Amino acid sequence: MKIYRAITTILTIVGLTLAVASAPRAEEGFYVGGAFGKAYLDETIDSIRIDTNSNTYRVFGGYGFTPYFGVEVSYLDLGTFRDTIDVGGVDVPVSVSADGFTFAGVGTLPLGGRFSAIGRFGFFFHDGESTAAGFTEQDPSEANPFVGLGLAFSVSEAIDVNVGVDYLDTSDADPLFATVGLTLRF
């Protein structure tokens, strides 16, 4: 019987500790931040196959209405994807680039302790350009959906370090990009 009480007491203490550790952090209010990383593109655009990557960055700001939901606006630069294609035995340089603004709903799920999972769903309003041999093939301006998942680690009440992966669904290309960033909360 003493073992039963000891096990029950230990499980109760562990359960209460996990419940307190899982309580949401104060994520209400304004925040700003930035992230940088790599964007990956493996697509066929205008019958030209491009398989390459580029450096990307985003600067963002948002507002958390609750510890679980907020909105975010960012400037996103996917960089320039450069590749070379073979056209009749001649190597032709091609490039694709896009930059613009995003608007997204942001969901936060506390995972325990200092960790949270972050999800984003919104739209990317961008200008893009694709060129072949220095001649502009296309210069689209579009609004396309995107989705992102990430993980945040709270360094302090006001500072989070985050990593994430986002997927953009554009009419010509669907780049995937991974970033590491910093968020400052007010």
User: Do the domain assignments include residue 14?
Assistant: no
**Number of independent structural domains in the chain:** 1
User: Do the domain assignments include residue 32?
Assistant: yes
User: Do the domain assignments include residue 8?
Assistant: no
User: Do the domain assignments include residue 33?
Assistant: yes
CATH of the domain at 104: 2.40.160.20
| pLDDT, tens digit only, all 186 positions of the chain | 455 555 555 555 545 444 444 444 556 899 999 999 999 888 776 676 778 889 999 999 999 999 899 999 999 998 888 888 877 888 888 888 889 999 999 999 999 889 999 999 999 998 878 777 777 666 667 888 999 999 999 999 899 999 999 988 876 677 889 999 999 999
User: Do the domain assignments include residue 112?
Assistant: yes
Residue of 182, 128, 120, 119 whose CA lies nearest to 153: 182
| DSSP summary character for residue 8 | H
User: Do the domain assignments include residue 19?
Assistant: no
Q: Tokens at residue 99, please?
A: 């930059």
User: Do the domain assignments include residue 40?
Assistant: yes
Q: Which domain holds residue 127?
A: 26-185
pLDDT of residue 46: 65
Contact 140, 131 (CB under 8 A): no
pLDDT of residue 26: 52
Question: pTM of the full predicted structure?
Answer: 0.77
User: Do the domain assignments include residue 6?
Assistant: no
Residue of 36, 4, 77, 33 whose CA lies nearest to 185: 33
Q: Tokens at residue 163, please?
A: 């990593």
